[in-house]
Amino acid sequence: MTMLHPSVKIASVLVLAMAVNLAGPHVLAVSAGLLAALLLRYGVAGFLKMLRRVRWILLALLLIYMFSTPGEYIVQWPLAWLVPTYEGVDSGLLQLGRLCVMLAGLSLLLVTTTRPQLVAGFYMLLRPLRYIGLQPQRFAARLWLTLHYVEQRPPQPGRGNLFERLASELGNTDEQVPQYIEFSLLAFGWRDLIVLAMFVATGIYLL
């Protein structure tokens, strides 16, 4: 994974996002196993941190599918006035699996790609847009600054209301603002070409 070009990594995550919506339970389970092996190889802490942050969203999504999907009601459910369906449970678990696979792919991208590499990868993907009048370098600069300020963000105060916290963050102007942004554009290797050829072949096959 670390040997791939940053733009190929980003493209892989985008392809994964499209593929998980079409994948069934068996394909999803195989994908989850492969991503789990890669996370164990490169670091699983970022993925677990993401899961902790979105745990309530995942739970809410599961409950929505359980109780809003029509189908056969689960027998012997303790609440007679609110009963989930078997189809709702299956659909909810499938959606949770898809989201977890996407989070795993995203965390794998972030743990194996530095900030300059990530910005350069997005720039390479958006570079063809310059032929229609757009400026990918401006997007890359904004992305770099966004990631820079997120990393430089001061810790949240433990006390004080919302206005005091906003004043504290807005008043923190001591950090140096970069005058220019520089990143290296890496060359594509044979591994990158193989992965891109696989993406093209898969797209042609699906069409």
Average confidence score pLDDT of the chain? 79
Q: Give 165-199 pLDDT, tens digit per residue.
A: 545 544 554 455 555 666 667 778 888 888 888 88
Candidate from 133-142, 143-152, 172-181 with smallest mean pLDDT: 172-181
Measured from the Cβ of residue 105, the count of other Cβ atoms closer than 10 Å reads: 24
Q: Tell me which amino acid residue 180 is.
A: Y
Q: What is the structure's pLDDT at 59? A: 93
Q: Where are the domains of the chain?
A: 1-113, 115-186
- pLDDT band, very low/low/confident/very high, at 129 (cuts 50, 70, 90): confident
Rounded to an integer, the average pLDDT of 24-33 is: 87
Q: What does the DSSP 8-state code read for residue 55?
A: H
Q: Of all residues in the chain, what percent carry a pLDDT higher than 90?
A: 14
> In this model, does residue 135 exceed pLDDT 90?
no
Residue type at 183 in one-letter notation: F
Q: Report which DSSP code applies to 179.
A: S
Would you state the torsion angle of the CA atoms of residues 120, 121, 123, 127, taken in this order, to the nearest 10 degrees? 130
Structure tokens at 35: 């991503």
- What residues have CB less than 8 Å from 166, skipping those under 6 apart? none
Q: What is the pLDDT of residue 110?
A: 85
User: What is the pLDDT at residue 188?
Assistant: 80
Q: Residue 143: exposed, middle, or buried by beta-carbon count in 10 A (0-12, 13-18, 19+)?
A: middle
Residue 76 — left, alpha, or beta (φ > 0 → left; ψ -120 to 50 → alpha)?
left
Residue 45: pLDDT band with limits 50, 70, 90: confident
Q: What is the pLDDT of residue 174?
A: 47
Most confident of 104-108, 187-191, 203-207: 104-108
Q: Which residue has the higher pLDDT, 157 or 133?
A: 133
C-beta of residue 134 within 8 angstroms of C-beta of residue 125: no
| 111 pLDDT higher than 60 | yes
What's the rounded mean pLDDT across residues 111-138?
82
